[in-house]
Amino acid sequence: MKKRLQTILAHAGVSSRRGAEELINSGRVKVNGRAVREKGFRVDPREQVISVDGRVLRLEEKHYYLFNKPGNVISTASDTHGRKKVTDYFRGIRARLYPVGRLDKDTTGAMLVTNDGELAHRLTHPSFEVDKEYRVTADKRLRPGALRRLREGVIIDGKKTSPCEVKFVRKQAEGFLYSVIIHEGRKRQVRRMFEAGGSGVLRLKRVRYAGLSLGRLKEGEYRELTEREMGVLSRSVKGKLADKGI
C-alpha cells in the first residue's frame, strides 16, 4: 500500500515528519535511485527502494488498525484453548500483528492492532496515562456518594484508583448508562469500580482509545488509521515524553 514518503520516514525513525519533509525538499531522499522533492509523494515500501543520503532504508512495513472487538473474543495473539482471538480477524494480512490496550473477553469496543512494538509499549505503559473512554450499562444508578468516590478513586486490590471522569448519561430500558474516562489499565478495572460503588455492570463498551474513536465501525470490523489519527497518536506519545522530560 502506498503511503506518503514523509510518513514512512517518520515511522522508520529517520526523523520527525517535519524533519522528513525538509530531507525530501533538500533532495536527500531518493526512491528507486531518483531524488524526490514532490510534496505528498506516495511510495509502496514493499516494491520501491528508499534511500536517505545514499543509505538504503531497511524497514518492515508498519500496520495500524482500529478494531471494534466483539464480545466473547479474547485480546491475545495466541491461545491454547481454541477460543476466538482478536488476531483471527486479521488472517489476510501478512504481518505479525498484536492487539494493544487489552479488553476482557466480555467487553467490546475500540482496540489498536499493530506490529509497531515501540508504539505499543508506550501506549500500554502505565506511566503514559493513555485515556480510555467507556460506555457502561449498570444495573443500578450510583448514589451521589458512590459517584463521588469513583471519581476520586476507590480501593482495588489494596491500591487506590486514579481520579477519573464518571458521568451519568441516561436511564435505559435495560439499565443506567454512564460515560467513564480513565487512564489506567488495571484488570477489569471499570467493572470493579462499579462493584465498589454498589452497582453491577450489565454491558461495557470502550468507545475511544488514545484519541481513536469507533465512529460507525461495527463489531468485528477494522480499518486502517488515517494520517490524522496517526498524528494524534504520535502527538499523544511525544507529549507524554515531553511531560516526563524525556
Q: Work out the average pLDDT over 1-24.
A: 82
Q: Is the pLDDT of residue 11 over 90?
A: no
Nearest to 226 by CA among 68, 4, 60, 43: 4
Threshold 0.85, pTM exceeds = no
Phi and psi angles of residue 222, each rounded to the nearest 5 degrees, phi first: -145, 165
Beta bridge partners, 108, equal: 205
Q: Is the pLDDT of residue 143 over 80?
A: yes
Q: Work out the average pLDDT over 207-213.
A: 93
CB 66 within 8 A of CB 54: no
CB 209 within 8 A of CB 114: no
Task: Look at residue 10 in the predicted model and tell me its pLDDT.
Answer: 78
- Cite the active site residues: 104
Q: Is the pLDDT of residue 150 over 90?
A: yes
CB 67 within 8 A of CB 113: yes
Cα 232 to Cα 10, 150, 223, 228, 238, distances in angstroms: 14, 28, 16, 6, 10
Residue range 3-56, CATH number: 3.10.290.10
The domain 131-209 having CATH identifier 3.30.70.1560: the answer here is yes
Q: Which CATH architecture has domain 64-127+215-243?
A: 2-Layer Sandwich (3.30)
Q: Is the pLDDT of residue 153 over 80?
A: yes
pLDDT in tens, 97-141: 989 988 999 999 999 999 888 788 888 877 777 899 999 999 999
- The set of cell numbers assigned to 237 is 506519545
Q: Is the pLDDT of residue 52 over 70?
A: yes
Would you kindly state where each structural domain of the chain is located, as residue ranges?
3-56, 64-127+215-243, 131-209
Distance of CA 199 to the CA centre of its chain: 28
Tell me whether the CATH fold assigned to 3-56 matches the one assigned to 131-209.
no
Q: Work out the average pLDDT over 55-83.
A: 87
